[in-house]
Amino acid sequence: MLLWGRLKVTKELMHKDEVTDFLIYTTSEGNVKVEAFLHKETVWLTQDKMADLFGVQRPAITKHLINIFESGELEENSVSSLLEHTASDGKKYKTKYYNLDAIISVGYRVNSKQATLFRIWATKILKEYVLKGFAMDDNRLKNGQHFGKDYFDELLERVRSIRASERRIYQKITDIFAECSIDYNPQSEITQDFYATIQNKFHYAITGQTAAEIIYLKADAAKKNMGLYTWKNAPKGRILKSDSVIAKNYLGINEIKKLERTVSSFFDYIERIIENRTVMKMKNLAESVNKFLAFNEFKVLEDKGKISFKQAELKAFKEYELFNKTQKIDSDFDEFSKKLLEKKKNA
């Protein structure tokens, strides 16, 4: 897992050679966690931090640096700098840092998996930093330190870009969840639960039923189009088996419009949170759905419903098999034949 962030400071507090931006680098296993700094569009580490990064002792780092400089591979003055930073005691100290060129050169000599992972990460983060002026998401800031205005401006821009995309409405919600959560982790229990329940929450708010309940109760071979209002090849094309297990296909035009307006209002709600410069974690965003629905006097789903998706699928497929035996489809050839017959009758 690769996390990064930026600490904003006012111009009055900045110093020509003072470190103002930080990055947190950590491996997916969590056994390596190093704080690096951004300065003059490159990453900087002390010898101690390089030792932590590559899993060796500081003397090994010192030895590699000496060899690098003595061999003429790099010039020390070009890749090192005394940078001022604020320590945990609140005092400012001048410390020698080494830039990405030196870090990578040492990494090649150490020749470890950790060194390779860091090179990949550094290339990615520097590209985003140079292009946008900062990198979103971090490990330190989520614990309460300040985000700058540019973070929220960028986040708002991303949310609006998602809203304008051609993605399906529930895909847009999950996209926004991933973008806006500063501690986003696709493998977390919160994320998995959010992805599993978000569709049901909005279906339930509009219809009083979960997606599985809608499918289970409305799929009916005896009804016109087996109860579907729309399907992939609608209005004249064949209804497919896969169409029968999409809850939205069973909703009428008024329900669809109400659903779309409600989701759009939820996006407005998220934008207002961002405009108020409120930092959101996964837990906050997951809870925001119920808060939004309750405030707007919709029914709030408190459980997972009475029907499982497996039950709904079995019922829908059974009804489809019955329906499909008598499904009438007029193909383009059928339409052509009808018109041809009409012409012959009128001739």
Please say whether the beta carbons of 27 and 50 come within 8 A.
no
Local confidence band at 188 (pLDDT 50, 70, 90 cut-offs): confident
Count CB-CB contacts under 10 A for residue 179.
18
More confidently predicted of 136 and 75: 75
* Neighbouring-strand partners of residue 136: none
Beta bridge partners of 93: 85
Domain coordinates in residue numbering, the chain: 11-143, 149-331
Distance between CA 83 and CA 42 in Å, rounded? Answer: 13
Of 235, 264, 96, the closest CA to residue 172 belongs to 264
Please state, in angstroms and rounded to a whole number, the distance separating the CA atoms of residues 280 and 274.
Answer: 9
Residue 83 has pLDDT above 80, yes or no: no
Q: Verify cis geometry, omega within 30 degrees of 0, for the bond prior to 235.
A: yes
- For residues 285-313, give the mean pLDDT: 93
Residue 90 backbone phi and psi in degrees, to 5: 85, -5
Mean pLDDT, range 56-61, rounded to an integer: 91
Q: Is the pLDDT of residue 337 over 60?
A: yes
The pLDDT value given to residue 17: 42
Q: How far apart are CA 274 and CA 296, in angstroms?
A: 19
Average pLDDT of the segment spanning 250-268: 94
Summary mean pLDDT of the chain: 80
Report for 26-30, 130-134, 223-227: range of highest mean pLDDT: 223-227
Name every residue whose Cβ is closer than 8 Å to that of residue 65 and which is 6 or more positions away in sequence. 47, 76, 98, 102, 106
Check residues 135 and 172 and name the one with the higher pLDDT. Answer: 172
Torsion of CA 33, 50, 116, 104, to 10 degrees: 140
Confidence of residue 19 (pLDDT cuts 50, 70, 90): very low
Cα-based angle 129, 131, 135 (whole degrees, multiple of 5): 30
Query: For 254-279, what is the mean pLDDT?
Result: 91
- Average the pLDDT over each of 38-52, 134-148, 154-168, 322-336 and give the range with the smallest value: 134-148
- What's residue 239's pLDDT? 93
Give 107-151 pLDDT, tens digit per residue: 888 877 777 777 776 666 655 554 444 444 444 333 334 455 666
Residue closest to 61 by CA, chosen among 46, 72, 71 = 46
Across the range 324-347, mean pLDDT stands at: 70
User: What pLDDT, on the 0 to 100 scale, is given for residue 87?
Assistant: 64
Q: Rounded to an integer, what is the distance from CA 40 to the centroid of its chain? A: 29
What's the CA gap between 205 and 290, in Å, rounded? 10
281 is written with which tokens? 């974690």
Read off φ and ψ for residue 197, nearest 5 degrees.
-110, -15
Q: Are 156 and 278 in contact (CB under 8 A)?
A: no
pTM of the model: 0.56
Could you tell me if 259 and 250 are in contact, meaning their C-beta atoms sit under 8 angstroms apart?
A: no
